Amino acid sequence: MKGSPKIGAHVSIRGGYGRAARFAWESGAACFQYFPKNPRSLKLKPLDGRDAEDCAAFCRKHGMVSIAHTPYPTNMAAGTAGAASRQVMVGSLRNDLEIAEACGSLGIVVHFGTFGGMEPLQGYQNIIQCMNETLESWNGRARLLIENQAGNHGSEGMTLEELVKVRELSRHPDKIGFCFDTCHAFASGIWNPEQTGELLGRGTELGYWPHLVAVHLNDSMFPYGQRRDRHAGIGQGCIGEEKLRELLLSEPFRRAAVAMETAKGTDGSHRREIAAVQNWYEAEEQP
């Protein structure tokens, strides 16, 4: 058998981290993603050690993996002044790392960052400095997982080259990995589903794939290259099930934790989609 990744979806932490893990398991998932705190705020959240350990223990028992997703306002390109300064970002990211570590998660997914009109060189420098300060004294196993961007808020962070380079230039590359979003890659134009081999080859040349930890498996509501970040259900968008399946069955993606960020089914879970994606691998093994 070639093996398959852990498949799951984003779940709510209403009721706690342990409840989130159980809900994911009950829906047939072997992986889940969650927001460690309020997704629309950078306010720090005190760690509930008992709840986090409940989550970690349940995942160990059932062979599950999890990833945390940083709040939406997180911007690693932030400068040193203002209410949303680098200091605020670093504090929030450390808070997320601590919660993810306690929950036994692989890492925290963070968007590359938006420059908002600043000089690109300054933006890249800010991102690198933010990562350096966040990871300076971090000794946990949870890693910072940089996610590729769709281009709807600017051209930065769309290419594998950028992600690889900021990791290389950081002082702690061993504490940094990647999260590949299929909808973002399609929207930004770096993944043409008719030429998947080119993406795979480019990632190999750059040394991107060895550091791929997580995948956001999303179809796209909008056509290729339009830089529109709107997710569609698997096989219900412009990418299509066949091309998503081709990508996920490729070797670099088999080691990743795969989480869907699509609309829930009528039962409030992703049970149907999880089963459908798991079947891609089971069908592959049929004689």
Tell me the per-residue pLDDT of 64-101, one tens digit each, with 9 for 90 and over: 999 999 999 999 999 987 778 999 999 999 999 999 99
* H or E element at residue 108: strand 107-111
User: Do the domain assignments include residue 265?
Assistant: yes
* Lowest mean pLDDT across 3-12, 227-236, 278-287: 278-287
Q: Is residue 162 part of a domain?
A: yes
Query: 4-8, 105-109, 125-129, 219-223 — which is least confidently predicted?
Result: 4-8
- Give Cα 67 to chain centroid, integer Å: 7
Mean pLDDT score of the chain: 96
Q: What is the pLDDT of residue 4?
A: 78
- pLDDT at 212 (0 to 100): 98
259 Cβ neighbours under 8 A, 6+ residues apart: 8, 9, 10, 31, 32, 33, 67, 214, 215, 216, 217
Q: Which range of residues forms the domain containing residue 278?
A: 6-284
Task: Report pTM.
Answer: 0.96
The pLDDT assigned to 284 comes to: 77
Domain membership of residue 247 (yes or no) is yes
Residue 1 lies in a domain: no
Total count of domains within the chain: 1
The token pair at 222 is: 């909008």
Tell me if 36 is assigned to some domain: yes
Range 53-67 burial, b when 16+ CB lie within 10 A, else e: ebbbebbeeeebbbb
Q: How many CB atoms lie within 10 A of CB 83?
A: 7
Q: What is the 3-state secondary structure (H, E, C) of 149-188?
A: CCCECECCCCCHHHHHHHHHHCCCHHHEEEEEEHHHHHHH
Contact 217, 234 (CB under 8 A): yes
- Mean per-residue pLDDT for 195-207? 98
CATH number at residue 252: 3.20.20.150
Q: What percent of the chain has pLDDT over 70?
A: 98
Q: Length of the chain, please?
A: 287
Closest CA to 234 of 262, 256, 259: 262
